[in-house]
Structure 1
Amino acid sequence: MNRIGIVGAGAAAAGAAYILSTQQPGAAITVLEKSRGLCGRAATRRKHGCVYEYGANYLKADDNRVTDLVTNTLETDGLVNIDEPIWTFDSEGTVEPGRESDDHKWSYEAGLTQLAKRLFARTEATIHQETHVEAIRRDGEIWRVEDTDGNEWGPFDVLLLNPPAPQTAALLERADWASEHRRPLQDAVENVPYRTVITAVAHYPFKLDVPYYALVNTDKAHDIGWVAREECKPGHVPDGESLLVIQAGNEWSKAQYDAPRENNLRTLIEGTASLLEDERLTGPDWTDYQGWRYALPEDGVSRAPLEAAEADGLYLLGDWVAGEGRLHAALANGLEVGERVASDLESSA
């Protein structure tokens, strides 16, 4: 029986676990997730009768395999379309309709975390949430993991790491792994650039009369990078209400990351009211807030160090490995890594 350890429970990890359960039946899969939720930056909250996504906003139809998995293989109950288009705005706040890359978009009535939940539900994986991995160790031919409470996990024949690149690099720096592969891998992972995003959520007891689902800043020169209307997702917001998810641009988010939450909320909400030219938006009846220090990778990672590490049974996966900060890219990468792990385990049997 193969023993597989997975650090992190993001979309890529869920995809890998799904493939491994299919291609390695009977494998013991252990998933260690530091938070209370599943699906990483595809994060869902519920408040005052609303469901909203304050990280990744939707799943895009930009990978045939992922599209087939979501629309045919997995249960489709609660899968909803986002029909309204995405419009654009520039550094001056000029809003314009449409963009050619506005592909099909999905969410779930219960939120995007359903994607990971439905994938993990098709596995025999044991998931331990609120378990923060602090160290990894290569002990002969096996891997062991230690969490911040001093608990040891393993032994594992293979180990998969799904945290964002900076957190993975920190694990590699502390790793007890006497291999020539460790330092080149750590250097490569450390070089992955990331965008920081501050997210504000604002709810209103009235419905906005605009023709778009979201606005995106295409020149990346505005303090606000994205504004989305959760009421465009069936089942997310009660009729007659509006809920805006406002994501700040990278430079503003980095500069303001440690500033007081209330100040940042006010600035982003007032900026959105100005952008949408609607003074009513300065007074939401409730708000929410989240900072994402490692929100979106802006580039990928060199393949050679990753492939070398796989010879020692260590696999890295996620949107940053795919080189695209999108939910569909993370899931597709997880499926690919899962197949590679299954093939390697079969070859070594």
Structure 2
Amino acid sequence: MRVFDKGRGVGGRMANRRADGMQFDQGAQFMQAHGDVFATRLADWERRGIVGPWAGAGRRVGIPDMAAPVRDLLSDLSVASGMAITWISRDGACWRLADGAGGEHGPFAAVAITFPAPQIAALLAASGFALAGVERATYAPCWSLMLAVERAPPEMLIEPNEGPIGLIASDSSKPGRPEGGRLTVHAKPDWSRAHLEVPREAIVSVLSKAAEAWLGSPLPIGYVQAHRWRFAQVETALEKPCLYDPDLRLGAAGDWCLGPRIEAAHDSGLALADAILADLGGAA
């Protein structure tokens, strides 16, 4: 079994950024369990020090960053990072993959794709395949702002009810994090959509001023960076665990199957893995 990830590190939207000796969770800020399966997983991670409580209400964060749980899930697998798969093809009963650098990989007995749904649809269309329903999933974008400040606010998590900002999180308040004032600001979906193509410099200016206004004091900023998530939060989910074609042994999974939560991505991936393993007779 092999995993291919186009990012520099695993985690996707459970991403972290390191810059100038600082660390930010630039994507998802926390996880919560609504069902027994993910609750059991969180309890195991917490017992092993991979996640810890943060900001109340059953919220958990990865330690030392939000990608830590993903690294744990992949610890026994072969992972190729920084490799974008751009083509999949059938070779008899097996699959072969091509990456953007001209490399070829395979053969594989089955393929599981866990990109955001629009990217899955594009890959399948370019390769001459389809999975019915994937095109129905939709996303909202998000501008994310990372700030190193002189002093972080006492609140761990702020969710403004007006203006362009949807969330202000104190990264430095999370367990297992380096000291120092660090904030992550997420813009609201509608605002992000309306400003999706605006230059980063303008986004930094607007969101940093909005954060200062909401916190009620100036924020002496030592480092600032904006990141654009085109596929940030699921708006329309398929409301089914995963997509799988047993004749092709081709499937897709993600939060877009069940809903806009880390738990949904976990449960969807588990459902697809179960379907593939059952189809292969339990072989890993």
Name the TM-score, length of structure 1 as normaliser.
0.75
- Rounded Cα–Cα distance in structure 2 between residues aligned with 1:318 and 1:78: 22
Map Cα deviations across residues 66-107 of structure 1 (whole Å, 9 max, x no partner). Answer: 22223226862253210x35xxxxxxxxxxxxxxxxx31112
Is the CA contact 1:237–1:243 (under 8 Å) kept in the aligned structure 2? no
Q: Give, in angstroms, the shift of residue 248 of structure 1.
A: 0.9
1:143, 1:117 → 2: CA distance?
26
Aligned-pair CA distance for 1:217? 4.7
Counterparts of 1:71 and 1:80, CA distance in 2: 9
Give unpaired runs (5+ residues) of structure 2.
none
Return the alpha-carbon distance in structure 2 between the equivalents of residues 347 and 244 of structure 1. 45
Question: Alpha carbons of 1:258 and 1:276: their partners in 2 closer, same or farther (altered >3 Å)?
Answer: same
From 128, 151, 156, give the equivalent of 1:213. Answer: 156
CA gap 1:77/1:141 in 2 versus in 1, 3 angstroms = same
Q: What are the within-5 Å matches in structure 2 for residues 224-303 of structure 1? A: 224-238=165-179, 241-278=180-217, 280-281=218-219, 283-301=220-238, 303=240
- Taking the aligned partners of 2:146 and 2:124, their CA distance within structure 1 comes to 35
- State the partner residue of 1:38: 10
Asked whether the 8 Å contact 1:318–1:333 carries over to 2, the reply is: yes
Which structure has more RCO (C-alpha within 8 Å, separation ≥ 6)? 1
1:262 Cα deviation from its structure 2 partner: 1.4
- The 1:246–1:74 alpha-carbon spacing in structure 2 relative to 1, beyond 3 Å, is closer
Within-5 A mapping of 1:114-133:
114-121=68-75, 123=76, 125-133=77-85
Return the alpha-carbon distance in structure 1 between the equivalents of residues 276 and 32 of structure 2: 26
Cα contact 1:74–1:119 (8 A) shared by 2: no
Instruction: Check the 8 A contact 1:230/1:237 in 2, yes or no.
Output: no
Q: What CA distance in whole angstroms lies between the structure 2 residues aligned with 1:144 and 1:112?
A: 32
- Give me the whole-angstrom Cα distance separating, in 2, the residues matched to 1:193 and 1:105: 26
Q: Indicate how the Cα distance of structure 1 residues 117 and 305 shifts in structure 2: closer, same or farther if over 3 A, else same.
A: closer
Matches of 2:43 and 2:91, distance apart in 1: 42
Q: Which residue of 1 aligns with 2:251?
A: 315
Structure 2: distance between partners of 1:81 and 1:74: 8
Percent identity of equivalent pairs: 25
C-alpha distance in structure 2 between counterparts of 1:217 and 1:74, whole Å: 29
Question: Is the CA contact (8 Å cut-off) linking 1:306 and 1:315 kept in structure 2?
Answer: yes
Match of 1:157 among 82, 92, 109: 109
Counterpart of 2:40 in structure 1: which amino acid?
D
| Structure with the greater alpha carbon radius of gyration | 1
Deviation at 1:54, TM superposition (A): 0.6
Residue 42 of structure 1 aligns to a residue whose secondary structure is coil
Task: Please tell me the root mean square deviation across aligned C-alpha atoms, in Å.
Answer: 2.4
| One-letter identity of the residue aligned with 1:34 | K
In structure 2, C-alpha distance between the alignment counterparts of 1:297 and 1:310, rounded to whole Å: 26
Q: Quick one: which of 44, 48, 67 aligns to 1:72?
A: 44
1:197 and 2:136 are equivalent in the alignment? no
Any idea what the Cα deviations from partners look like across 1:8-55, whole Å, max 9, x if unmatched? Answer: xxxxxxxxxxxxxxxxxxxxx011111111011100123344432110
Higher mean alpha-carbon deviation, 146-155 vs 296-305, is at 296-305
5+ residue gaps, structure 1: 1-28, 86-102
Asked if structure 2 preserves the Cα contact closer than 8 Å seen for 1:38 and 1:117, the reply is yes
Aligned positions of 1:1-40 closer than 5 A: 29-40=1-12
The residue type paired with residue 168 of structure 2 is: V
Residue type at the aligned position of 1:35: G
Q: Supply the AA of the counterpart residue of 1:331.
A: H
**Counterpart check, 1:56 vs 2:28:** yes
1:51 alignment partner, SS class:
strand
The count of corresponding residues between Structure 1 and Structure 2 is 284
- Cα distance change, pair 106–73 in 1 and its aligned pair in 2 (3 A): closer
Distance apart, 1:223 and its partner CA: 1.7
CA distance in 1, matches of 2:3, 2:15: 18
Give CA deviations for 1:91-138 in whole Å, capped at 9, x if unaligned. xxxxxxxxxxxx3111233101111111111x2x21111111111112
TM-score, with normalisation over the residues of structure 2?
0.91
Q: Distance in 1 between matches of 2:241 and 2:221?
A: 50
